Structure 1
Amino acid sequence: MFEGIALGSRISGLGNNASFWEKLIMCGCYAVTTPIGMGIGIGVLSVFNGNNKSTIIAIGTIDSLSAGILLWTGIVDMLAMDWVFGPLARAGLFKTLCAMTSLVAGMILMSFLGKWT
């Protein structure tokens, strides 16, 4: 759910840089790839061996690639654009401190979520 909200906010933030059809295609790709991935996961569940050495290596590799992409997108594409080139670049001290506090609080809450799963 949160990925869809984040993607929707970024697509709407494109403004006039992307046409209606380009935005529609982006949303459609997300809406189609998620169920396809779930279907593949359900399909291979019967032959999946989570204790196999090659399975553990494959899962670790894919997880690390996914984490790297997520970090790059979060730090470079989202945070840098908002903090360096966006409205927070010229914001006052109070707004900057509120934004930083919210950012750190979100990181802490997400780390608790990661610990529980």
Structure 2
Amino acid sequence: MVVYIIPAVLTLLVGLNPLVTGNFIWKTVSAIHMFFCIVWAISLAYYLLLHTQRNILHEEEGRELFGLLIITAWMSLCHSSSKNPVGGRIQLATAILIALFPFISWVYIYTNKEMRSSWPTHCKTVI
């Protein structure tokens, strides 16, 4: 849970004051958090490489891996915005893609009949 609270607070601070990304404490906390997310993502990827028997998205560790990658990409985007607080087209496009990725993934998985057929029973009755 802490892995999600820290970037949420850091992002909230950026929303309240975009220039906070130039603050030493903000940059240090975000850099340390990104480091731990990358290390954790590498360990999850290694675990999945050795133990995955089904689709990676069917595994709890696979979904956690994608969450860590989203967090790392988002924090990296915020971290790099201190150089250009106004942002550019590439940063805006990246932010939009990161924000829409979970929704697009869900739509793909939900509409893919082959993936749905291998869902556990409790997942088939959710929607």
Q: Is the structural similarity TM-score above 0.5? A: no
Flag the structure with more relative contact order, 1 or 2, with Cα contacts below 8 A and sequence separation at least 6.
2
The structure richer in helix per residue is 1
TM-score (norm 1): 0.31
TM-score (norm 2): 0.29
Larger Rg: 1
